[in-house]
Amino acid sequence: MCVNDVTVQNQVGLHARPATFFIQKANEFKSSIWIEKEERRVNAKSLLGILSLGIVGGTSIRIIADGSDEKEAVKALMDLVDSGFSEEAR
């Protein structure tokens, strides 16, 4: 199991568009992947799950992966969150 914390950089957080990008990236991996915010854990491949967390900019989240490509999955998802989902370029 691979676990890492990251702070959501973009101002609006994980609303529909960035959450969709996150899910698309998570689905590239075979591992089971979850996001934790405070005490709640949801499937990182579920749009409704991610949206239900109400993650706004500046929120710290935990990315957890368990499987054959867990390290790669966590790194790729952390890089995506750190990039701000490229929203600043729009």
| Amino acid 90: pLDDT | 37
Structure tokens at 61: 């989240």
Q: What is the pTM of this model?
A: 0.91
CATH of residue 72's domain is 3.30.1340.10
How many CA atoms lie less than 13 Å away from 32 in the CB half-sphere? 5
Neighbours of 8 (CB within 10 A): 21
In the set 4, 9, 15, 75, the catalytic residue is 15
pLDDT by residue, tens only, the chain of 90 residues: 999 999 998 888 888 899 999 999 999 999 999 999 999 999 999 999 999 999 999 999 999 999 999 999 999 999 999 998 865 433
Distance between CA atoms of 59 and 24, rounded to whole angstroms?
21
Instruction: Judge whether 15 counts as a catalytic residue.
Output: yes
- The whole domain housing 27 covers 2-89
Domain count across the chain = 1
Q: Contact, 53 vs 37, CB < 8 A? A: yes
| Amino acid 82: pLDDT | 92
Distance between CA atoms of 37 and 68, rounded to whole angstroms?
24
51: left (phi over 0), alpha (psi -120 to 50) or beta: alpha
